[in-house]
Amino acid sequence: MSVSIDLSGRVAIVTGGGSGIGRETSQLLARAGAAVAVGDKNKATAQETAEMINKAGGKAIGVEVDVTEPEAAAEAVESTVQAFGPVSILVNNAAAWTVGLFKDITKDDYANKDIGVSLIGTMVMTRAVFDVMRENGGGSIVNLISDSARVGEPFMVAYGAAKGGVISFTKGFAKEAARAKIRVNAVSPGTTKTPGANPIIDKWGGEEKLMAAYPLRRLGEPIDQANAILFFCSDMSSWVTGQVLSVNGGYAMVG
Ligand SMILES: NC(=O)c1ccc[n+]([C@@H]2O[C@H](COP(=O)([O-])OP(=O)(O)OC[C@H]3O[C@@H](n4cnc5c(N)ncnc54)[C@H](O)[C@@H]3O)[C@@H](O)[C@H]2O)c1
């Protein structure tokens, strides 16, 4: 006997799917049977992920989208529906951040990157997909947050604030959207080896040094996050909404 997760017939949008956790998640959802629209502001990397999926026998398209732009978000949803049918999964993974002491970063930094992409982009994409999901009988939205929002981290204060906003949005919207049979949950990664995080890992002394803070004594791999995201996307979590799951090797244990 075995247990498997089957997303056949589901249509997913993964934002920030051109890199790191978003790329791995796009591939995993496709392996589980979903048709995946890989959204990224970087058209080339979005298409690259989609090609990887199609070559492996899955179904994907690459979609250029800046998640901070409502019109672009609406167009991304529309082209996904045209390619594959109604969307029932959205992974709000795209994010941007500034690293440095709060006194040294500017309003443009956090308005355009941390809060602009990570918080506002999540809200914009969620709104863009909501009507289609509701009309299709429901769905699942998974938001990527960060342990920096749950426990507080220096040098990424604006990013932590933005992700804290995403936690509140996740919980509030989960209650609103439940009547439309839309579940909304969040995955909170600890430090995970991705093109986006690797420069930060180096800046903080490298992998060996950082992993000392992790009880399981390794940093995260993108697949660690993708597995948790898959759980929230699938019917295995059909009675779970408004929740935050840390996937972090035990770094922060938040009650
Ligand atoms: N890697 C980690 O250690 C870590 C830790 C905590 C949380 N996270 C979260 O996980 C998610 C993925 O992180 P990652 O490390 O894979 O990042 P990454 O930098 O490797 O990839 C991010 C992707 O988002 C895209 N993107 C950026 N701005 C965009 C926009 N406006 N519109 C569309 N796409 C945009 C980028 O082009 C890139 O492809 C993020 O939400 C991040 O905050 C990551």
Is residue 38, in this structure, part of any structural domain at all? Answer: yes
CA 227 to chain centroid: 12
Asked if residue 25 has pLDDT above 90, the reply is: yes
Res 48: pLDDT: 98
Q: Is the pLDDT of residue 160 over 80?
A: yes
Query: Which DSSP symbol is given to 138?
Result: -
**Binding site membership of 88 for ligand 1 (Cβ less than 6 Å):** no
Q: Which atom of ligand 1 is nearest to the CA of 42?
A: 37
69-101 residue pLDDT tens:
999 999 999 999 999 999 999 999 999 999 999
Q: What is the pLDDT of residues 162-206, one digit of tens each?
A: 999 999 999 999 999 999 999 999 999 999 999 999 999 998 899
CB neighbourhood size of 108 (10 A): 10
Residue nearest to atom 7 of ligand 1 (CA): 146
Q: Looking at residue 57, what is its pLDDT?
A: 98
pLDDT exceeds cutoff 90 at 61: yes
Answer whether residue 2 is part of any domain.
no
Element (H, E) at 141: strand 139-144
The CB-side HSE value for 51 (13 A sphere, CA atoms) comes to 6
Residue at 66 is within a domain: yes
Are 243 and 185 a contacting pair, CB within 8 Å? Answer: yes
Q: What is the pLDDT of residue 144?
A: 98
Q: Whose CA is nearest to atom 30 of ligand 1?
A: 66
Task: Quote the mean pLDDT of the chain.
Answer: 97
> Averaged over 35-54, what is the pLDDT?
98
57 lies in some domain: yes
Identify whether 5 is part of a domain.
Answer: no
Q: Give nearest CA residue, ligand 1 atom 11.
A: 93
Ligand 1 mean position to 1 CA, how many Å?
37
How far apart are the C-alpha atoms of 177 and 239, rounded to whole Å?
Answer: 14
Domain contains 6: no
Average pLDDT over residues 117-144: 98
Read off the tokens for 225.
């996050």
The number of CA neighbours under 13 Å toward the Cβ of 61 is 17
pTM comes to 0.98
Residue 1 lies in a domain: no
Strand 244-247 with 89-92, pairing: unpaired
- Ligand 1 neighbourhood includes 241 CB (under 6 angstroms): no
Between CA 255 and CA 247 the distance in angstroms is: 14
Structure-block tokens of residue 172: 């509030």
Task: Find out whether the beta carbon of 191 lies less than 6 Å from any atom of ligand 1.
Answer: yes
Quick one: pLDDT band at residue 66, thresholds 50, 70, 90?
very high
Per-residue pLDDT, 254 = 86
Predicted confidence at residue 255, as pLDDT, reads: 74
Instruction: Kindly report the CATH number assigned to the domain that includes residue 192.
Output: 3.40.50.720
> Which residues are designated catalytic?
159
CA distances from 31 to 5, 35, 79, 141, 172 (A): 10, 9, 21, 19, 31
Q: Which domain holds residue 235?
A: 11-247
Q: Is ligand 1 within 6 A of the CB of residue 160?
A: no
Q: How far is the CA of 241 from the centre of ligand 1 (A)?
A: 23
Give me the number of domains the chain comprises: 1
At 64 the pLDDT is 98
How far apart are alpha carbons 243 and 195 in whole angstroms?
A: 27
If you measure from the C-alpha of residue 179 to the centroid of ligand 1, how many angstroms do you get, rounded to a whole number?
30
Quick one: pLDDT at residue 172? 98
In a domain, 53, yes or no: yes
